[in-house]
Amino acid sequence: MTGLTDLGIAAIRDGVRSGDFSAREVAQAFSAAVEKGRALNAFTVETPDHALAAADAADAARAAGALKPLSGVPLGIKDLFATRDVRTTAGSRILEGFEPPYESTVSGNLFAAGAGMLGKLNMDEFAMGSSNETSAWGPVLSPWRRSDGGNAPLTPGGSSGGSASAVAARLAPGVTGTDTGGSIRQPAAFVGITGIKPTYGRCSRWGMVAFASSLDQAGPMARDVRDCAILLEAMAGFDPKDSTSLDLPVPRWEASLSADVRGKRIGIPREYRIDGVPAEIDEVWEKGIALMRDAGAEIVDVSLPHTRYALPTYYIIAPAEASSNLARYDGVRYGLRRAPPNGNLTDMYEATRAAGFGAEVKRRIMIGTYVLSAGFYDAYFNRAQKVRALIARDFERAWETCDLLLTPTAPSAAFALGEKSNDPIAMYLNDVFAVPASLAGLPAISVPAGLNAEGLPLGLQLVGRALDEQSVLDAGLALEERAGFAARPEAWW
C-alpha cells in the first residue's frame, strides 16, 4: 500500500482501530522506507522483525477487541536507550557490540503500550553535540536541501539527529529523543518537525545511557503536537528505578488538548534578543508573537536577567556530570576493550578509553574533570551550581507575570555538515536558547513556524511552568494551527 508512511501517530492508531488498514501493512511500509532511506544514515540498527511482531500482536489485539494506546504504531528509538538484545551504542565506539540484557523504562513503556521498533537511531556520541557529527557511525544527513541550488549536505541538528531525520523523511511516524541541553528541540526545529522535552523527572532515565544526569530527559519527536502528546503519555510515568523520577500520575495530555489560548499570558524574554542572530530568526519570532496575539493570547515583555550565563553554566555542569558518568567505560564491564600486550590494568583503561571515545567526548571529560578538581571546584563547578539556581529563579519570577515563554528554538536554520565541526564554541552557541529551560528542568516544545529564504525550516520554542506540559502542548497546537507549516523535503534519498 502506498501513502501509509504519510500518516502520523494518531492517524495510524485510528486507522488500525477502524480497520482501514492493518498494523502489518503499516510496519511493512515504514520498514521499506527505512531501507530506502539508508543514504540518510539515520539508523544504526534496523529491526523490521521487532516492528512486524508488534504489528501482528496489534492486529490480533484488534480482532480480540483489546487494542492498546499505541497498537500498530512503529517507532524509531534513539540509540541512547538500552533495548534488550538489540545493539545499543549511544553513538560511541566504546559501546561497540553492546547488547543490553534489559530494556530501558521509556522504550519498555512504549512497547507495553503496543508500539513496535523500526530500529535504533543514530546520534551524537553520548548525546554530546548539535549536529550529529560526533557519532562514531558517521553524520546523519538532513533530508532538507537549500533551495538556492547550494546542495551541500545539511545537518539535521543534534544530538537526536537520526530521530529528526527519520521523522522528517517519513521513515518513522514518531521517535524517542533525549534532551540534555536542546537535543530534542534544536533538531526538531532544523527539520521542520515537533519535539517536546517534558519537565525533568517525567520520563524515567533508567536504561537511558547517562550524559549529564541532572539534565537528561527523554521526550518524543513527531510530525505534530497531537502525536507528541500521544507518545509522551505512553513514555512518561513514575519509575522507582530512577531516584529522580516524579511520583505523579501522567496527565491525559491528548484528551485535554485545546488550541484555545485566549487569556493566556505569553512572555517574550527580552534577553533572548541576541546580537549576531540572523534577521530571519527575529522575523519568525515576530511572526509567532503575532500569531499568538491573533489567537487571543496576551503578549507580555519579561526579563530573564541571568540568560547570558546559561550557556557557560551548562558547559560546566554538563561536562562535569559527563566526566563522572563516563568513568564506567573502562574496558571491563561494557563494549570495547583494548589491552596492550604486557600492559597492566591502567594501560588497559587508557588504551580502551583512547580508542573508544571520540574527540568531543574526550574534550568534555577533560573539561569536566578540570572543573571538578580540588583546586578549581569552587571556582567553576560550585559557582555554576549557584548560577543555575539563579537561572531557575529567573523563570520563577517570570511566572508571576506570564504563563508561557515564546522564543526561537535555535539561533539559525540548519547549517552545512562541516561548517562548525572545527569550532566547538560556535557549535555550543547553537544551544543558546535551549539550555536555560534545561537548567531549570522546565517543559519546552519546538514547533515548526516557517521557512527561511533558502527554503529551510525554522522553529519556535514554548517554555512552560514545571509540570505544565498541558499549557505547552496547547499553545504549541495554537501555534501549529496558525503557522500552518506544511512544507516537507523533496525526496532525493
Catalytic residue set:
78, 159, 183
Q: How far apart are CA 282 and CA 260, in angstroms?
A: 25
Strand partners, 416: 154
Collect all residues with Cβ–Cβ distance below 8 Å to 226 and sequence separation of at least 6: 8, 9, 10, 254, 257, 477
- DSSP for 11-33 reads HHHHHHHHTSS-HHHHHHHHHHH
**Piece of 18-26, 43-51, 125-133, 407-415 that binds ligand GLN (CB under 6 A):** 125-133
Q: What minimum distance in Å lies between the beta carbon of 480 and ligand GLN?
A: 23
* Residue 431 within binding range of ligand GLN, rule CB under 6 A: yes
**Piece of 24-32, 93-101, 173-181, 404-412 that binds ligand GLN (CB under 6 A):** 173-181
**Piece of 175-183, 258-266, 348-356, 476-484 that binds ligand GLN (CB under 6 A):** 175-183
Q: Where are the beta strands (DSSP E) in 351-456?
A: 404-408, 444-451
Q: Where are the beta strands (DSSP E) in 97-228?
A: 116-121, 174-179, 194-197, 217-222
* Residue 182 within binding range of ligand GLN, rule CB under 6 A: yes
* Residue 159 within binding range of ligand GLN, rule CB under 6 A: yes
**Piece of 83-91, 104-112, 126-134, 332-340 that binds ligand GLN (CB under 6 A):** 126-134
β-pair type (298-302, 265-269): parallel
Closer Cβ to ligand GLN, 5 or 134, answer by number: 134
Q: What minimum distance in Å lies between the beta carbon of 11 and ligand GLN?
A: 29
Percentages of the chain per state (helix, strand, coil), in multiples of 5: 40, 15, 45
* Residue 75 within binding range of ligand GLN, rule CB under 6 A: no
**Piece of 61-69, 127-135, 407-415, 452-460 that binds ligand GLN (CB under 6 A):** 127-135
Subset of 276-315 contacting ligand GLN (CB under 6 A) = none
* Residue 406 within binding range of ligand GLN, rule CB under 6 A: no
In the complex, residue closest to ligand GLN by CB? 183
* Residue 181 within binding range of ligand GLN, rule CB under 6 A: yes
Collect all residues with Cβ–Cβ distance below 8 Å to 416 and sequence separation of at least 6: 152, 153, 154, 155
Q: What minimum distance in Å lies between the beta carbon of 204 and ligand GLN?
A: 17
Closer Cβ to ligand GLN, 302 or 440, answer by number: 440
Q: What minimum distance in Å lies between the beta carbon of 171 and ligand GLN?
A: 21
Subset of 192-251 contacting ligand GLN (CB under 6 A) = 211
Q: What minimum distance in Å lies between the beta carbon of 78 and ligand GLN?
A: 10
* Residue 139 within binding range of ligand GLN, rule CB under 6 A: no
Instruction: Quickly tell me which residue has 553513538 as its cell.
Output: 91
- HSE on the CB side for 84, CA within 13 Å? 10
With CB under 6 A as the rule, give the number of residues binding ligand GLN: 13
Subset of 407-426 contacting ligand GLN (CB under 6 A) = none
Q: How far apart are CA 251 and CA 351, in angstroms?
A: 48
* Residue 179 within binding range of ligand GLN, rule CB under 6 A: yes
3 state SS of 152:
coil
Q: What minimum distance in Å lies between the beta carbon of 348 and ligand GLN?
A: 29
**Piece of 87-95, 180-188, 202-210, 327-335 that binds ligand GLN (CB under 6 A):** 180-188
**Piece of 25-33, 177-185, 304-312, 483-491 that binds ligand GLN (CB under 6 A):** 177-185
Collect all residues with Cβ–Cβ distance below 8 Å to 131 and sequence separation of at least 6: 124, 139, 155, 157, 158, 161, 415, 417, 420, 421, 427
3 state SS of 174:
strand
Q: Are 349 and 404 in contact (CB under 8 A)?
A: no
- Residue 130's alpha-carbon distances to 135, 260, 291, in angstroms, are 11, 33, 29
* Residue 128 within binding range of ligand GLN, rule CB under 6 A: yes
* Residue 129 within binding range of ligand GLN, rule CB under 6 A: yes
Strand partners, 439: none
Cell readout for 321 is: 556530570
Q: What minimum distance in Å lies between the beta carbon of 219 and ligand GLN?
A: 11
Closer Cβ to ligand GLN, 159 or 352, answer by number: 159
Interface residue with ligand GLN among 41, 71, 183, 407 (CB under 6 A) is: 183
Collect all residues with Cβ–Cβ distance below 8 Å to 27 and sequence separation of at least 6: 48, 51, 52, 54, 55, 72, 74, 116, 118
* Residue 162 within binding range of ligand GLN, rule CB under 6 A: no
> What single letter denotes the amino acid at residue 476?
G
Q: What minimum distance in Å lies between the beta carbon of 182 and ligand GLN?
A: 5
β-pair type (457-464, 444-451): antiparallel
Q: How far apart are CA 139 and CA 129, in angstroms?
A: 11
Closer Cβ to ligand GLN, 208 or 458, answer by number: 208
Q: What minimum distance in Å lies between the beta carbon of 162 and ligand GLN?
A: 13
Q: Strand order in 74-78's β-sheet?
A: 43-46, 116-121, 74-78, 174-179, 217-222, 194-197, 444-451, 457-464, 404-408, 265-269, 298-302
Subset of 318-337 contacting ligand GLN (CB under 6 A) = 318
Q: What minimum distance in Å lies between the beta carbon of 364 and ligand GLN?
A: 8
Q: Which residues bind ligand GLN (CB under 6 A)?
A: 127-130, 159, 179-183, 211, 318, 431
